[in-house]
Chains A and B, each alone.
Chain A
Amino acid sequence: MSRRRPYVRPMAGWWRRNPHHFLYMVREGTSVFVGAYAVVLLWALTALADGPDAWSTWLATMRHPLAVLFHLVVFVAACWHTVTWFAVSPKTMPPMRLGGRPVPASALVGGQYLAAIVTSGAILYAAAAAA
């Protein structure tokens, strides 16, 4: 008669052991930079409400080399968020049908990239229009 003694392996460091899990943590990690950037936008709003001087201060801070570095990192993180968000969207979106057939995943993802390009173009055009 053998005695059972099931051995439970530890989970510590699990996300470093598998490349897929590592990429998952990177995907989740982009949110730290997204959140930090949202705080910068919030700061911009309060500066805008406080008047021209506060706005100039905010704008001057954005020109600091560290701010530029920060926004470069945020830009990469935001792009990676976009890529990963669209990549999983065929699983997360409500099922869509066109003419009785399910819309293929490639069309769903492609449509979203198109929407992102149009939105980005509109934002950049609106920002630069007065120049």
Chain B
Amino acid sequence: MNRRRSHEPVFWVLFGAGGVVAALTLPALVLVTGLLGPHDLLGEDALAYGRMRALAAPWPGKLLLLPLVALPLWLAAHRIHHSMHDLGVQVRPVASALVCYGLAAAGSALALVTLVRIG
């Protein structure tokens, strides 16, 4: 019997990494950037421009921020792709994979380029 090897491991590894990063950091990150920070509940300059630049400009900061932004995109892409199959709304699996993982790849590339741009 000749079976075709699935390329799922590539996306599964990124999905797994995204799932771990999201599970460990997202609740706290949402509090900081969405619920407490913008309303000065973490101190008045918690999200001040200069402070954020000081975080994102050095290379260790970039290496910290890149996975925080990019990996959850892969988590979402993977699950949305499979959920469309589960819900029976996938017209063609290849098209759904291209759109979902393509957007995650584009988002990751944008995050990388932007972080470099913050220089």
- Seen from chain A, the residues whose Cβ lies within 8 Å of a Cβ on chain B are 11-12, 15, 25, 28-29, 31-32, 34-42, 44-46, 48-49, 52, 55-56, 59, 62-63, 67-68, 70-72, 74-75, 78-79, 81-82, 85-86, 92, 112, 115-116, 119-121, 123-124, 127-128, 130-131
Interface size class of B (residues with CB under 8 A): 35 or more
Q: Is the CB of B65 within 8 A of A71?
A: no
Q: Is the CB of A48 within 8 A of B79?
A: no
Return the contact of A81 from the options B22, B35, B73, B115 (Cβ within 8 A).
Answer: B22
Q: Is the CB of A49 within 8 A of B79?
A: no
Determine the chain A residues whose CB is within 8 A of the CB of B28 once the complex forms.
119-121, 123-124
Q: Is the CB of B69 within 8 A of A38?
A: yes
Map CB proximity to A onto B45-56 as digits: 1 under 8 Å, 0 otherwise.
111010111001
Q: B20-78: which residues lie under 8 A (CB-CB) from chain A?
A: 20, 22-39, 42-47, 49, 51-53, 56, 65, 68-70, 72-73, 75-78
Q: Which residue of A lies closest to B40 (CB)?
A: A131
Determine the chain B residues whose CB is within 8 A of the CB of A55 once the complex forms.
49, 52
Q: Is the CB of B22 within 8 A of A78?
A: yes
CB distance from B22 to the nearest CB of A (A): 5
Excluding A28-B82, A38-B73, A128-B46, 16 further A-B contacts by CB distance (< 8 Å) are A31-B76, A38-B70, A39-B107, A42-B114, A45-B56, A52-B49, A55-B49, A55-B52, A72-B35, A74-B26, A75-B35, A78-B22, A120-B25, A127-B32, A127-B46, A130-B51
CB distance from B83 to the nearest CB of A (A): 5
Majority secondary structure of chain B interface residues (helix, strand, loop or mixed): helix
A-B contact pairs, 24 of them (CB 8 A): A15-B86, A31-B79, A31-B80, A32-B76, A35-B77, A36-B76, A37-B26, A38-B76, A39-B107, A41-B29, A41-B68, A42-B110, A44-B33, A49-B117, A59-B47, A68-B34, A81-B23, A81-B26, A116-B24, A119-B28, A120-B24, A123-B25, A127-B36, A130-B46
Q: Is the CB of B49 within 8 A of A42?
A: no
CB distance from A97 to the nearest CB of B (A): 21
Q: Is the CB of A78 within 8 A of B30?
A: yes
Return the contact of A11 from the options B35, B68, B88 (Cβ within 8 A).
Answer: B88
Contact flag A48-B53 (CB < 8 Å), given A31-B80, A63-B38, A127-B46: yes
